[in-house]
Amino acid sequence: MTLLPPTREVTLILPMAPDMEIVASQAASAMASFVGMSSDRVDEVRMAVVEACINAFEHSRAAERKVDITFRLIGGGARPERLEIRVHDRGVGFQPAAVEEPRIEAKIKGDRKRGWGLKIIQGLMDEVEILSGSQGTTVVMSKSR
């Protein structure tokens, strides 16, 4: 019989309320530190989680004003090699391909300065995938040690 490794994941369910992204970022910081990331990489994870939460809070239009954040430790024995984070809302979803990449030249001159969240997440994490549909949106992001 093959023993499966124990599931190493933690899920937080947070209300979409002011500053809850900071609570999520503190958990992200603890998990990234546990993986053994450098302090700079821990900070990058922390900031990416803040952005994913803010996107969910602001754009999901979820009737149930909650966001699920799952931290999953991947690979390795005693010390995992990678941290995967899933930020899930039960909102209306969107088409990721339809999101225009923000450009600073246009933002400086334009009326709408916002819309940077996904670009920041993609720049700070190793891998990012957006799963979105009528059941909501999940940002799946990971970073190695």
Does 101 interact with another protein (rule: CB under 8 A)? Answer: no
Instruction: Pick one of 15, 75, 96, 123: the residue that binds another protein (CB under 8 A).
Output: 123
Instruction: Pick one of 66, 102, 142, 144: the residue that binds another protein (CB under 8 A).
Output: 102
86: its two tokens: 């899933």
What are the b/e assignments for 49-88, b being 16+ CB within 10 Å? bbbbbebbbeebebeebbbbbbbbbeeeeeebebbbbbbb
106: its two tokens: 């246009």
| Residue numbers 33-92 binding another protein by CB under 8 A | 40, 43-44, 46-47, 50-51, 54
Q: State the nearest-atom distance from the C-beta of 102 to another protein, in Å.
A: 8
Query: Is the CB of 47 or the CB of 74 nearer to another protein?
Result: 47
